[in-house]
Chains A and B, each alone.
Chain A
Amino acid sequence: MSNEVKRDPDGQLPFISGHSLSSVSEKISDVTTLPIKKMPKFWYGGMFLGLTVVQLLFFAIFVLVTRGTGIWGLNNPVGWGFAIINFVWWIGIGHAGTLISAILFLFQQDWRMSIARFAEAMTLFAVVCAGLFPLLHVGRPWLVYWLFPYPNTLGMWPQFRSPLLWDVFAVSTYATVSIMFWFTGLVPDLATMRAKTDLVWAKKIYHGMSLGWTGAARHWHRYEIAYLLLAGLATPLVLSVHSIVSLDFAVSNEPGWHTTIFPPYFVAGAIFAGFAMVLTFMIPVRAIYGMKDLLTERHMNNMCKVMLFSGLIVAYGYAMEIFFGWYSGSPFERFMVLNRADGPYAPSYWALILCNVMVPQLLWSYKIRTNPIMVFIICQFISVGMWLERFVIVIISLHRDYLDSSWAMYAGTRWDWAMYIGTMGLFLTLVFIFIRTLPIVAIFEMRELVHKEEHKEDSH
């Protein structure tokens, strides 16, 4: 893989290099069609880790349902804790995929092609992880279907004024459209996989899922339109989901929650976190599966730029929160800001500033943006930072609000951590199943890219 890459005429690194149409297909589908015994140790390690950790999740859920929400560290002023932090964190992570697939598609950013599939898959898995929390964090999870507007003998609708209900709609819509979008994008590749695989049962499954795709021009035509429409549909959702999640906070009257800046600030944070997570997985995968030619430094460079930009919006958000605290004239808002910076949870606030504001400034440097190890490290900071951001918002506002008589401290218990770490296991498991069963890079899009690159060279 160490062959010298040629730069574009405009001096940029190419998005793909050294590939022909067939080699692209081979390379990508090989990951999936490789005999199971030949899968790299990395995959086995990852799968083992994922499956192990996901047991923790199942156990934590079992204990939660049998014993009650009390196993968590929640108390009287702090009614929401890890569950909501993790929910928002996972939903945020689930933003990059659709953003990359839909918005960048609409903006005809071709570089998105090689990362889109992976990012979309991660979106779905993150939404699965996120979705667990609101379902399980309620006191009586077996009644959670009451949040859905279904015809019932009680003659009851859910309460449409509640942002939690908006959440239900926003997240379920987002999940549905994301699955459709992802699946539509998969269809041509599933047909390729159908052709590539030797296993009979796998062939049957791919055959069924590829919906009779033959690669006819008519199919391509329909596909392009469908994909464009879905991209158009998904685009507002990228913005709406996290906006609505942010309304859970913004609509309430807690100091530090009740802020108009929340929707854009949350969306920016989500993109920030989502890109960090995509890079977190992409960097090792490209190294281990030898896909540096498909997932190039230029991709990293572009994604880092997006992160830097969204990170600056987030930083602006933090600055505005402090400004509002002073400008509102409300003693409660003012206290909230001081309590963040100098209260008992100040370390988490300053760690957040370090992770989300200071460290990402390194991305101004081109050298760092194209250095996979540095980018990987920065992404870890951002992931932690974004989790801390939600911690700061959820906990620090709740633990000391209006009446000082009710102030209290909050700390996650081992079950809080078990749930959180457990969902990471679930995410890992799903990612490694995905790596094994579906092409992690869109084959047909890469071939298109190869074609374009070739064409570019011709014209040159």
Chain B
Amino acid sequence: MNTDTPTSFGDQNGILDLRSMREVMKQDWEQRDRRMYSSYLDRDATQLPTPAPSAREEDTESGVNRRSFMKLMGGSAALAGLAACTRQPKELIVPYVKAPEEIIPGKPLFYATTRMFGGYAQGIMVESHMGRPTKVEGNPLHPASLGGTDTFSQASVLDLYDPDRMPGHRKAGIPSDFKTFTKELQEAIAKTPSGKGLRVLLPHSSSITEKRLCEKLLENLPEAQIHVFDPVSAENEALGLEKLFGKPMQSVLHLDKADVVVSFDSDFMGWSPAKVRYAKDFSSRRRIVDGAERNRFYAVESTFSVTGSNADDRLPVRAGRVEGIARAVAVGLGMQTAAPELNEREVAFVKAMVSDLKKAGKNALVTVGPHQSATLHALGNLINVQLAAVGNTVEFIEPQLNGPVKVQEDFMNLVRDMHDGEVKVLAMLDVNPLYNAPLTLRFEKALENVAFSFQSGQLFDETAMKCSWALSGTHYLETWSDMAAFDGTLSIAQPLIAPLYESKSSLELLSVLAGEEMTAFELVQDTWKTRTGLADDEDGFNRFWRTSLHDGFIKGSASKPWKGLKAKSDVLSEAFEDPQSDFGLEVVFQPDARVWDGQFANNPWLQEMPAPISTLTWDTVFTISPKTAKKYKIRLTNEGVQKRTVVKPKVQIIELNVDKRTLQGPVLVIPGHPDDTVMVTLGGGRQVGKVAKGVGYNAAALRTAADPWIQQGATVLELNRYQELALTQDHFPLQADGRSLIREAGLDQYKQVPDFPTQMVHQFSKKLTLYPEWDYSKGLQWGMVIDLNTCIGCNACMVACQAENNIPTVGKDEVMNGREMNWIRVDRYFEELDNGETRLHVMPMACVHCENAPCETVCPVGATMHSSEGLNMMVYNRCVGTRYCANNCPYKVRRFNFFKYTDEETESIKLQRNPDVTVRLRGVMEKCTYCVQRLNLARIDSKVNDRTFKDGDVVTACQQACPTEAITFGNIIDPNSKVAKLKASGLNYTILEPLNTRARTSFIGKVRNPNPELEPSILKPLTFKHGPGGEHGEHAAPEGHGAPHGSEKTPEGKPYPEMKGH
């Protein structure tokens, strides 16, 4: 296996001469020994009769002969005694003399804190094992989380232990110290008259302390300027709302209140500061099994997004056309505006949206994607105003982010000034413009004109390499901060661990710039002492401080929404130009679902997480639709898989060309992607980092600062080169009939047949088994239910499982070999509808813990066994690795360690591991355990406290992470448990029933709610190919639900939904 991409951190050949911690420590010790020895020699050379060994003795071959060896040994013995008298080095890690009360070795502690993402707060709880943060969970109290998390939060803990982190500060690449830096910085600032020529470049942030420090800086140096750099800036919303209401604002959606949601290119569950919260709110209207009043979601989108894949009705169009559709909707709602000509499908779609929006009135919601124009934002929200939805399903609050609204323009001004030589000192804190800024700005060239520049960050990255100084920045778990959530709720973020290296946080560096060096703790406390005005005593400020830290946010600090806003309808009279498709290909830029704008590119968990929809790992691609691929004659050798010409799919590499800007990359065809548009993702093409380097292309080559998201008129140059992609699932929609994996029905159909999922497949007798029956009616019997209505396919469960269960990453080559290790995966099935549209189904799949487990009977050494609680257990120590169990598992959820995937060498990575979960070695099978370590912990807890087990005592890692609560876990024989109630629902079903495996994980059948105008077949009564079998078991069909049994075909002679190809 020649992996260019390291399987995880720990490659010893760091290109940046970053040594692993162990090496650093070793060298440190060696140097210290040398120091001691040489100092002794210096001091006492005169007293020793024989100098240090040299080559003058007889035996020069080995350097040491018997005599000199004896002398040296004698000398060493003497030195050893002396060394005992020297001062020992300062050790920061010491055992507790007095153990803190709350720390019980072996028991983790949880601390609330907040992580900043795109400038906004994500509320999290961090698990800490003896001072080591190991796992991130959602903060159930925090409004942006309510207990859920996203992939980035889950994976962020690994960045803390990234062995590529810069251990110390560097001057022109050479290690140096912070004191020298501050001295040089003061000198450089002193040269700028009252700060003229001093520029500070910050990422988007909602930190109040940062704002305070910036103000202080400007007070001291009034001529200095502060800029913001954000490659994924969502400024268009604020600008659009400014257009509409006269002042910049940001929106807060209430998806739980919306009966009808219309999204104009809005991926609110994938790209939003509140994506976790929005997913939760959205899913609350989809949890049909709890009697939710089902919403209807229309998506008009220019990509295939996670959010769009959950739409009841989805219209894929070019990004440039979305505004046209929105205008047509506005016209339909009685507004006067210029709408383009629509095609048949679009007309029907607009008609359906308009009628539903009208019907829903104030319970409707229109949302617009951040990459769409300010005009569309204004227009979309004007529709909200028109429908009186403002104040109900959507509210507007003051922008929470610091810095200017027009971020891109502001940044362009900075770069222009740099080119002009007006910038003397440039401070870049936690930004990496050299990688992210559009190449047309020539930032690298501009940076050469800056006399004194420094950058802080965790990696010695692209920008750091070109700066005068590169400062080691802290990870968010190492420092204090404060920030605001999407709704303005404020939080104080506390660190979980002292900085691993000599790192400085952005706030600390800002305080240096502002003229007074303080620690982040002091800075944040100062901010809040001033802000709260509370007395500095136990009952005053201290209580506030402790409560805020404990809760992870400050109660009641959410921004008040604007009331009585007056909307201007100027936007309607704006001319609309519909870019024609024959003008060329359209390019839409999107942050990558795995590595975002590249900030997570050095995180192997995220690199190896299959992107939703495409299941792509370790790469960035150009996504196009099959029709467009045909139009541009892009050859897809992966068709050969079907035509059996090649074993491994390869895709063609093309060169995109927009206004002489070019970018090369592989093409991935995704059905359901809009025609005539190509999606280009950010986040690839990093130059540094053992994990990130060489993965994908850098979209900065094609982007411009003026039009960062959508560009028209691209041309395609097909290159005669092909590339293999690391996809975790076969690429094309597969047509395998009759598997009945995803079972779904329309809302009305469901009301007629509430147990349609079990009706769809013939139910066999569960008593048909040769093995004796095991008594599963006592004690605790674990089981899981996954609600396919609420699962949005975001993959948070996958990363959570990886973090919880010490699952190794395997690297690009091994993913291509089909050996990824994720215990839980999100299966993706495309469904091609008759009207040519593509629908996407997702199905989280982990070990289903069969009661009749096929894997158990075939293991020759008994390494996989069943517990009395119904767990299918894996005994790693006993496993010899025949892989028979994996072959015999119909769900294919077992994962084999073909090589030694676990990184046992890199010291820093070891700190992340969950001490409650065994680390697996080569040649051993592994799989989902239902988080048995958590079960055991909870069982011990209940025994210690002498109480019975309660529902909700145990939460599995996937369940805990899931932002939509799609996963329920618990004791299935406790009739009051949530999981038992779900299992009793008519919608509950297991897949592959004829195998009689009696899976403990079951699914809740999907209930769709498309507009019947667009999909008339959804109103037809369900019929079943298999009548309710003689052995219908406990799922007996209720009497008289009116569904005709026995007939196999619809009136048109087409097989009914259960026979569809997925």
Chain A residues proximal to chain B, CB less than 8 Å: 67-71, 73-80, 137-140, 143-144, 146-147, 156-159, 161-165, 168, 248, 251-254, 330-332, 335, 343-347, 398, 401-411
Contact = CB atoms under 8 A, between A and B. Distances in A.
Contacts of A162: 857-860, 884
Q: Which of A158, A165, A403 has the most CB of B within 10 A?
A: A403
A409 B641 contact: yes
Contact of B859 (A71, A76, A159): A159
Contacts of A137: 882
Nearest to B857: A161
Given A79-B896, A401-B890, A408-B730, A140 B924 contact: yes
Contacts of A159: 857, 859-862
B880 A143 contact: yes
Given A74-B898, A402-B892, A407-B734, 13 more contacts: A67-B899, A74-B896, A75-B817, A76-B886, A80-B883, A138-B882, A139-B882, A162-B860, A162-B884, A252-B887, A344-B644, A403-B739, A404-B739
B971 to A, nearest CB: 27
B648 interface: yes
B500 to A, nearest CB: 32
A311 B677 CA distance: 57
11 contacts: A68-B898, A71-B1, A74-B883, A147-B880, A159-B862, A162-B884, A331-B738, A403-B891, A404-B736, A404-B739, A406-B827
A254 B898 contact: no
B845 A138 contact: no
Chain A contact residues: over half helix, strand or loop, or mixed?
A: loop
B887 A398 contact: yes
B924 A76 contact: no
B1041 interface: no
Interface in B650-699: none
Nearest to A413: B817
Contacts of A330: 994
Contact of A76 (B820, B860, B900, B992): B820
B884 A403 contact: no
B862 A138 contact: no
Contact of A158 (B736, B814, B857, B861): B861
A193 B159 CA distance: 75
**Closest CB pairs A-B (n = 5):** A139-B881, A139-B923, A75-B818, A70-B898, A331-B738
A139 B888 contact: no
B880 A251 contact: no
B299 interface: no
B924 A405 contact: no
A411 B854 contact: no
Contacts of B878: 146, 156
B174 to A, nearest CB: 39
A138 B898 CA distance: 10
A345 B647 CA distance: 9
Interface string B810-841: 00001001111000010111000000000000
Nearest to A143: B880
A139 B892 contact: no
A405 B896 contact: no
Contacts of B641: 344, 409
B729 interface: yes
Given A68-B900, A68-B923, A251-B858, A139 B880 contact: yes
A335 B859 contact: no
A251 B924 CA distance: 23
A140 B860 contact: no
B1 A404 contact: no
B892 A406 contact: yes
B741 A253 contact: no
B884 A164 contact: yes
Interface in B364-398: none
A241 B874 CA distance: 30
Nearest to B741: A403
B925 interface: yes
B942 to A, nearest CB: 30
B897 interface: yes
B829 A138 contact: no
Contact of A407 (B730, B882, B925): B730
A405 B890 contact: no
Given A344-B642, A407-B734, A76 B862 contact: no
Interface string B907-938: 00000000000000011110000000000000
Given A139-B880, A254-B887, A398-B887, A168 B898 contact: no
Q: Which of B845, B860, B922 has the most CB of A within 10 A?
A: B860
B1032 interface: no
Contacts of B741: 403
Contacts of A157: 862
Interface in B791-819: 814, 817-819
B102 interface: no
A333 to B, nearest CB: 11
B879 interface: yes
B981 interface: no
Contact of B884 (A79, A143, A406): A79
A402 B898 contact: no
A347 B825 CA distance: 32
A147 B922 contact: no
Contacts of B70: none
A143 B881 CA distance: 9
Given A138-B882, A139-B924, A331-B739, A70 B814 contact: yes
A165 B882 CA distance: 11
Contacts of A138: 880-882, 923
B649 to A, nearest CB: 8
A263 B641 CA distance: 33
B858 A163 contact: yes
Interface string B864-883: 00000000000000111111
B880 A79 contact: no
B1052 interface: no
Contacts of B819: 70, 75-76
A402 B888 CA distance: 11
A395 to B, nearest CB: 11
A147 B860 contact: yes
B818 A403 contact: no
A252 B855 CA distance: 9
B451 interface: no
A158 B862 contact: yes
A20 B642 CA distance: 65
Q: Which of B1, B736, B887, B890 has the most CB of A within 10 A?
A: B887
Given A146-B880, A252-B887, A405 B828 contact: yes
Contact of B827 (A71, A78, A405): A405
A152 to B, nearest CB: 11
Nearest to B738: A331
Contacts of B886: 76, 79
A74 B1 CA distance: 13
Given A69-B898, A76-B819, A347 B892 contact: no
Contact of B892 (A67, A403, A410): A403
Contacts of A69: 881, 896, 898, 923
Q: Which of A76, A137, A158, A332 has the most CB of B within 10 A?
A: A76
A147 B861 contact: yes
B895 interface: yes
B860 A164 contact: yes
Q: Which of A73, A139, A147, A161 has the most CB of B within 10 A?
A: A139
A193 to B, nearest CB: 42
B124 to A, nearest CB: 31
A406 B820 CA distance: 11
B535 interface: no
A253 B881 contact: no
Given A139-B883, A252-B854, A68 B899 contact: yes
Contacts of A73: 817
B344 interface: no
B25 interface: no
Given A79-B884, A159-B861, A140 B730 contact: no
